Amino acid sequence: MEDFINVNPDTPLTEYCRNASNREGDTFVGIKSEYVDGNHSLSIHFPIGFEISKNEEIVRDDIISLISVLQVYNDQQSRISKIMPEQVLKTVRFPVQAYFTVLADFLNNGYYQITEEQYKQGIAGPISWSRTIKMETPIAQTNGVVYTKYRVKHHNETDKDLITEINKYCVYQSYLRLGWIYKLSLPPKPNRRREINVYQNYIESALLRTNRDKDKQLFSAMADILNFENNANDPDQFYFGTNRFEYIWEKLIQETYGNVRKEDYFPKTKWRLKFGSESDNTALEPDTVMKESDDIYILDAKYYKYGITQNPRDLPNSSSVNKQITYGEHVINEKVRDGEGVYNAFLMPYDSERQPYNQEEGHYYSVGEAVSSWKPSNENYQRVQGILVDIKFLIKNLIKPNNNEIVKLSNAIKESLEENIKKEQLK
């Protein structure tokens, strides 16, 4: 693992960073530590539209934000699907939050040590008579009283040494995995005197014994690290991320703007059969439904490249447009009360500070609208607005749901609609 230890601390973090192109074979978002042509390679892959800063402190925060988003939203559906099976297994198991937890605890408190004596009820071990007299009930006998249970020390000196030894090992592994993000100096390599499975068994028992939430969190993180390290045949290689960031983009949109039960807005169909009973079909499911004031917004999260390329080929196709119009028609017919409006929008990623946008403020940008040639565009929902959303803003905020942003997005959609209607009227 020496190659990985020797990631050059003088190399700027930006040298390890790049954007996925979202082309076939280049869709990975996350961190790769691997060997390429016999040489160790470390790389951080950001999603399309995410500006990689040249400032060391900013890019460090951006890496941590990306890891946080992947940690929160990277479920089975969005994990890596196009690499070797053994790499998928490592990706699924890689306990990134555990490494961060151990690092943070070490930076704040140093190596874990048992400093306070703890006692439990028992019959073996060093007895605390003062605690026994206070907390245990004796049995009266003719010649005095007898205690059948005592308060004995919970830990012996071996326990104290072992828990610190395990913590040193986990701290060291955490520095190897993620210490490069902080440009931290590697601590001394610990002297591992026992097999990792001994460490695992002890930490599991320590988890069961402790009542302190802080210790439970730390011990749980250490257990996750030990499990990963004990099952990694080539521990200097790991993969944390996804080849399907579009699922995470959908979740970011849903968690930020989805403030109603979208299940209530599913258009449903069924078969009425000559033979047998009726058969329900799978319902169409909009990505996100947002409500602001008296209006309903049907949002389709599209992790498309248009915000970077400005190429019409990178926009949603007819199938997506027609589906949004169907959603709108269902909502207008089945769900809307008097005075409520229904709006449609595609939400795609972009970098608001990049050309040709160059926005100093604001996280939304209208690029036009999609309409149908088979249906008149008389209703608002029949004009699907194309709205770019600043992907860095969305990732860094991890907001759920955000009322201020809901208002801003609804205004952006309405303003886009009004602008496009005016353009059409001028033709």
How many alpha carbons lie under 13 Å from residue 276 in its C-beta half-sphere?
5
Name the residue with higher pLDDT: 40 or 281.
Answer: 281
Q: What is the dihedral of CA 104, 108, 114, 119, to 10 degrees?
A: -90
Sign of CA dihedral 260, 289, 306, 244: positive
Q: Of the spans 20-34, 274-288, 343-357, which averages the highest pLDDT? A: 343-357
Q: How far is CA 272 from CA 269, 278, 326, in A?
A: 10, 5, 21
Sign of CA dihedral 98, 101, 107, 109: negative
- pLDDT for residue 80: 45
Name the residue with higher pLDDT: 180 or 83.
Answer: 180
Q: How confident is the model at residue 276 (pLDDT cuts 50, 70, 90)?
A: confident
Residue 88 CB contacts under 8 Å (≥ 6 apart), including other chains: 79, 80, 81
Does residue 418 sit in helix, strand or coil? helix
Mean pLDDT across the chain, nearest whole number? Answer: 83
Is residue 246 predicted with pLDDT exceeding 90? Answer: yes
Q: What percent of the chain has pLDDT over 90?
A: 44
Condensed to tens digits (0 to 9), the pLDDT of residues 3-51 reads 344 566 678 889 999 999 988 888 999 988 877 777 778 889 999 999 9
- pLDDT for residue 35: 74
Name the residue with higher pLDDT: 324 or 88.
Answer: 324
Name the residue with higher pLDDT: 131 or 65.
Answer: 65
- pLDDT for residue 130: 64
Rg of the Cα trace of the chain? 29
- pLDDT for residue 322: 94
Does residue 365 sit in helix, strand or coil? strand
Name the residue with higher pLDDT: 324 or 144.
Answer: 324
Tokens of 363: 């996280």
Angle among Cα 356, 361, 365 to the nearest 5 degrees reads: 50
Phi, psi of 249 (to 5 degrees): -60, -45
With b for 16 or more beta-carbon neighbours within 10 A and e for fewer, the 124-155 pattern comes to eeebbeeebeeeeeeeeeeeeeeeeebbbbbb
What angle, 0 to 180 degrees and rounded to 10, lies between the N-to-C axes of helices 245-257 and 403-426?
100
Q: What percent of the chain has pLDDT over 70?
A: 80
Is residue 312 predicted with pLDDT exceeding 80? Answer: yes
Angle among Cα 311, 315, 319 to the nearest 5 degrees reads: 145
Amino acid, single-letter form, for residue 259: N
Summarize the confidence of residues 167-180 as an average pLDDT: 90
Q: What is the pTM of this model?
A: 0.79
- pLDDT for residue 94: 74
Name the residue with higher pLDDT: 85 or 342.
Answer: 342
Tokens of 18: 């790049």
Phi, psi of 272 (to 5 degrees): -105, 115
Residue 405 CB contacts under 8 Å (≥ 6 apart), including other chains: 256, 257, 363, 399
Helices of type H across 110-237: 129-135, 157-182, 196-209, 213-230
Interatomic CA distance for residues 154 and 121, integer angstroms: 9
Tokens of 267: 């258009």
Tokens of 234: 């080539």
Interatomic CA distance for residues 309 and 355, integer angstroms: 11
